[in-house]
């Protein structure tokens, strides 16, 4: 008898607001625990019913015990990791909630339009023309701007209008900043309105735009030359 199928299994515990992810994790660990119990029952039965005149091969028995121990350790490890993950996410959620109402800068390309305004800080290596493109949730570019930037820190403020001058709704947009086709380092800015847990991570909310907590760069607005849209 072998339990190679058991030792090849993995179980991942999650603590997510996504009910599907949580259910999947719970079922995986439950399946591994059930297989472990089945193996223990089979091994016990085998020992009780082996032929005294022809007992189980010592090497085979030792191998099964080693695999038995590995499964037990795997279940314990997954349980411990799940507890650590839960504690870590809860701690991050507490830290994130302390930022509500504060202005922060963050990386990642998300640009929240709040109260009809959005801000981007960017840092070109020299004085040059910088192109800024804002896209909607469907990937359609809604606003283009060219800024004659100075070397170092610059700020571009978007008034929420598209290329036709129509005012757009607040929400989540994305932004790209380039110069001569090369990406220019930048961070978007916004005021935190909430925090939530999603997919084993914490998100800061800017209206209905979500940004991963670990993408926060600073808690204060950037300084430098300001380029109007």
Same domain, 67 and 111: no
Encode pLDDT of 36-89 as tens digits. Answer: 666 667 667 766 766 666 666 666 666 766 676 676 666 666 666 655 555 555
Of the residues 97, 112, 147, which one is the last residue of a structural domain? 97
Q: Order across the sheet with 209-212: list the strands.
A: 194-198, 201-206, 209-212
Number of domains in the chain: 2
Encode pLDDT of 131-151 as tens digits. Answer: 999 999 999 999 999 999 999
| Six-digit token string for 158 | 């978007």
Domain that holds residue 40: 4-97
| Six-digit token string for 89 | 């996410």
Is the pTM value of this prediction over 0.75?
no
Same domain, 110 and 45: no
């Amino acid at each position: 008898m072998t339990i190679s199928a058991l030792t090849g299994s993995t179980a991942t515990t999650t603590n997510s607001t996504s009910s599907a992810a949580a259910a999947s994790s719970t079922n995986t660990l439950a399946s591994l625990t059930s297989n472990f119990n089945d193996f223990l029952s089979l091994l016990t039965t085998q020992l009780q019913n082996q032929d005294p005149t022809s007992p189980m091969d010592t090497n085979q028995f030792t191998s099964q015990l080693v695999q038995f121990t590995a499964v037990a350790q795997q279940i314990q490890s997954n349980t411990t990791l799940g507890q650590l993950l839960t504690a870590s996410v809860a701690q991050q959620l507490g830290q994130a909630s302390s930022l509500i109402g504060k202005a922060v800068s963050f990386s990642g390309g998300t640009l929240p339009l709040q109260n009809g305004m959005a801000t981007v800080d960017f840092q070109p290596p020299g004085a040059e023309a910088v192109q800024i493109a804002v896209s909607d949730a469907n990937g359609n570019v809604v606003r283009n701007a060219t800024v004659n930037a100075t070397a170092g820190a610059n700020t571009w403020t978007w008034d929420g209008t598209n290329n036709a001058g129509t005012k757009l709704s607040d929400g989540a947009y994305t932004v790209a900043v380039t110069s001569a086709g090369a990406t220019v380092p930048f961070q978007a800015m916004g005021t935190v309105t909430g925090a939530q847990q999603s997919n084993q991570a914490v998100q800061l909310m800017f209206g209905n735009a979500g940004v991963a907590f670990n993408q926060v760069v600073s808690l204060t607005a950037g300084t430098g030359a300001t380029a109007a849209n």
